[in-house]
Amino acid sequence: MKQKVVASLFALFFAIPFGGIGLGAAYLMAAMIYDGARARDWVLVKAEVTGPESYRYTIGGKTYEGSRLGTLRLGGVSSDVDDFDDRVTGVMAESRVQKKPVTLFVNPDDPAESIVDREIRWGVMLFLAPFALAFGAIGLGALWLIRRLFIDETDPKRSPKAQARAKAHAAMSHGASGAGGLWFFAIVWNAISFPAAMIAIPQGIADGEWGVLFVLLFPIIGIGVLWAAISMTFERLRRGGSPAAHQLNKQRRST
């Protein structure tokens, strides 16, 4: 029981941060699509730029102030995954210096809600996708492991044959855990490393930062882990399964 508690705490150590990051990334992606779709029906309004990321506008005889620039709900975050910062903040800066109004989109049902650029930032979506999928998968996998740790597969109410089959299933699952764990790690690692490299390397080369090529090391490691998972799987198939699998087949034949 003590070992189960320790293992559960260890799994929980992964479930909370990884699952939280995965859920957070998924929320930002869903919110971006949702807000971009809603803003299609919003009205155009001229606004006075009052700061680097703030503006003031009047609609229906009432004045409002806003600071939201794009569909990403994390305000004040700059990135190199797309041209949003150069495009939108550049317009804001130019409008402020030249004292020209900027055009924004206002929700007619809630005039206090406004946005300067309503386009969905697909570069950010691509950047967040590995975190939503891979980190979310790690969090769910850790929670699944915690659940499995406290399932008694040898229920005394079962018949002896049922208990034997359950033990054989458990042994077979344990034997396959090595290959399964390697596959899981390979999928998660590559889901993060490849998109990150695809985004970081072209931008780094364009900026003359050749040190960014170091990022290539991570996809190379991912390919190696994937090859190891494939090799282990084929080796298990070549041997015709584990002893636990043979024991399970024997139990089935005896019934």
Are residue 127 and residue 160 in the same domain, yes or no? yes
pTM: 0.58
Domain extent, residue 139, equals 2-26+122-254
Last residue of one domain, picked from the residues 115, 139, 169: 115
- The 10 Å Cβ neighbour count of residue 194 is 15
Q: Are residues 173 and 67 in the same domain?
A: no
Compute the distance between CA of residue 63 and CA of residue 137 in angstroms, rounded to an integer: 46
* 100 and 176 co-located in one domain: no
- pLDDT in tens for each of the 255 residues of the chain? 555 555 566 566 667 777 788 888 889 999 999 999 999 999 999 999 988 888 999 998 899 999 889 888 876 555 666 778 778 888 888 888 888 999 999 999 999 999 999 888 888 888 788 778 777 777 777 676 667 666 644 445 445 555 555 555 544 444 445 566 667 777 777 777 777 777 777 777 776 777 767 777 778 877 887 888 788 778 777 765 544 444 445 555 555
Q: How far apart are CA 164 and CA 213, in angstroms?
A: 54
Sequence-distant (≥ 6) Cβ neighbours of residue 192 within 8 angstroms: 130, 131, 134, 218
Three-class secondary structure assignment of 100-120: CCEEEEECCCCCCCEECCCCC
Quote the pLDDT of residue 239: 67
- Say yes or no: 72 and 172 in one domain: no
Same domain, 108 and 220: no
* 136 and 203 together in one domain: yes
d(CA 95, CA 249): 75
Whether 51 is in a domain gets the answer yes
How many domains would you assign to the chain?
A: 2
Look at residue 31 and tell me if it is in a domain: no
Cβ of 53: how many Cβ atoms within 10 Å? Answer: 16
The predicted structure's pLDDT at residue 148 = 67
| Domain's final residue, options 72, 95, 115 | 115
Question: Is the same domain home to 108 and 128?
Answer: no
